[in-house]
């Protein structure tokens, strides 16, 4: 799957998750330095009380559109003690 197709899916699906307050393209694509081997990095912004819902809905989106091999998880918890996904940081 081409990066442009992945980006289109990511941003289209994020619009349907009301608990996502913002979605930002980061990494090499965000800085305009992407090449054919670049992955797609993005940062989702959500209120702490919505993190668990965002995680659950986003995992469903990933499984729907992509061949998910690994979803990173650690023992990290947010301020409410709910999530253990390393890609989520409360603000």
**Beta bridge partners of residue 44, listed in sequence order:** 23
Tokens 């912004």 found at: 45
Helix segments in the chain, DSSP class H: 3-14, 27-31, 51-65
Degrees (nearest 5) of the Cα angle 71, 76, 77?
110
Task: Provide the CA 22 distance to its chain's centre, in angstroms.
Answer: 11
Chain segment 38-80, per-residue pLDDT in tens: 888 888 888 888 888 888 898 888 889 988 776 665 444 455 5
User: Hey, where are the domains in the chain?
Assistant: 1-91
Instruction: Give the global pTM.
Output: 0.68
Query: What interhelical angle do 3-14 and 51-65 show, nearest 10?
Result: 140
């Amino acid at each position: 799957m081409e990066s442009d197709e992945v980006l289109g899916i990511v941003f289209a699906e994020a619009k349907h998750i009301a608990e996502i307050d913002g979605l930002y393209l980061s990494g090499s694509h965000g800085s305009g330095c992407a090449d054919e081997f670049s992955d797609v990095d993005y940062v989702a912004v959500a209120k702490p009380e919505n993190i668990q819902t965002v995680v659950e809905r986003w995992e469903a989106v990933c499984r729907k559109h992509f061949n998910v091999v690994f979803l990173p998880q650690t023992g990290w918890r947010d301020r409410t003690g709910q999530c253990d996904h390393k890609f989520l940081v409360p603000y």
